[in-house]
Amino acid sequence: MFKIFLMSTTESLSKSLDLTTTYLPIVMMIVVALIVAFGMLALSIFAGPKYPSKAKEYPFECGWLLDSKDTKRKHSIKFYMVAIMFLIFDLEIVFMYPWAITFRQIGLVSLVEMFIFLSILVVGYIYVWKKGILEWD
């Protein structure tokens, strides 16, 4: 029973999968990115000059006293509001991305569709603006 399940998954995979040609550039990009990122770190660890001093080992912190007993800081809800607004407007990318890629083939109607979509969201944007969510006071 389980064998059939595995078989069905793997077979459908191998049929639709042509990793070596399609995704080679992406794999290469990921590899290069990893090499660069870790390479930089490694270089700075092994090759960088090190002059340790007491002031440098002291953790850098701006505004707060380190030995303050009250470690439970209160954060403003404004952070959350900004984050959630970012998230919602970021979701538009789900639709903008395919739209932009095929724009030459899908013609004028799609332009109008996207216009309607965005104008509904602009209503939300105006609302957020007038409510003062974007202000930081």
Partner 1 sequence: MGVYIFYLFGTGLIATSIVAILMKNPVHSVLSVVSSFFFLAGIYAGLSMQFLAVIQILVYAGAIMVLFIFIIMLFDLQKSEYSKDRFLWRDLVPLALILITAAGFISAISRSESIKNYVANAKLPSNFGSVSAVSFEFFGTSNSVGRFSFLFEVISILLLSAIVGAVVLAKRKL
Partner 2 sequence: MIDNISTIHFLKEMLYLIPLLILVFSSMIILLVDVFAESSNKRYLAPLTSLFLIFSAISIFWLYKYIPKSGVKILYNMVYVDHFSLVISAMLIIAAIITVWISSDYLERYGIAIGEFYSLLLISLTGMILMVSTTNLFTMFVALELFSIPIYVLAGFFRVYGKSIESSIKYFISGSVASAIMLYGIALFYGVFGTVEFSEIERHIFNHYDSVAQIAKTEPLLILGTLLIMAGFLFKTAMIPFHMWTPDIYEGAPTTVTGFMGFAVKATSFAAFFRVVVSIFNTPSLVYSENGTISPSSWINVIYVLIIITLIVSNLIAMSQRNVKRMLAYSSISHAAYLMIAILTFSLSKTKDSYGSLLFYLLTYLFASIGAFAVLSIFEKNGSNSVTLENLNGASKRSPFLVASMLIFIFSMAGVPPFGGFFGKFYLLKSAFVDGSLSTLVLIAVITSVIGAFYYLRVLVFMFMKDVESDENIETLNVPFLGKLAIALSAIAVVYLGVFPNSLIQFMGETISNFFIK
Return d(Cα 74, Cα 101) in angstroms, integer.
44
The answer to whether residue 120 forms part of the interface with partner 1 (CB under 8 A) is yes
From the list 1-9, 39-47, 59-67, 122-130, the region that binds partner 2 by CB under 8 A is 122-130
CA angle, residues 94, 100, 109, in degrees to nearest 5? 100
Helix (H) / strand (E) element for 103: namely helix 103-131
From the list 44-52, 65-73, 83-91, 119-127, the region that binds partner 2 by CB under 8 A is 119-127
The answer to whether residue 65 forms part of the interface with partner 2 (CB under 8 A) is no
Return d(Cα 25, Cα 19) in angstroms, integer.
10
The answer to whether residue 15 forms part of the interface with partner 2 (CB under 8 A) is no
The answer to whether residue 64 forms part of the interface with partner 1 (CB under 8 A) is no
The answer to whether residue 70 forms part of the interface with partner 1 (CB under 8 A) is no
Return d(Cα 23, Cα 91) in angstroms, integer.
25
Shortest approach of partner 2 to residue 86 CB, angstroms? Answer: 18
The answer to whether residue 105 forms part of the interface with partner 1 (CB under 8 A) is yes
Among 13, 104, 130, 135, binds partner 2 (CB under 8 A): 130
Torsion of CA 54, 57, 62, 68, to 10 degrees: -90
The answer to whether residue 41 forms part of the interface with partner 1 (CB under 8 A) is no
What tokens appear for 21 in the block?
A: 């040609």
Do 87 and 98 contact (CB within 8 A), yes or no? Answer: no
Where in 17-46 is the site for partner 2 (CB under 8 A)? Answer: none
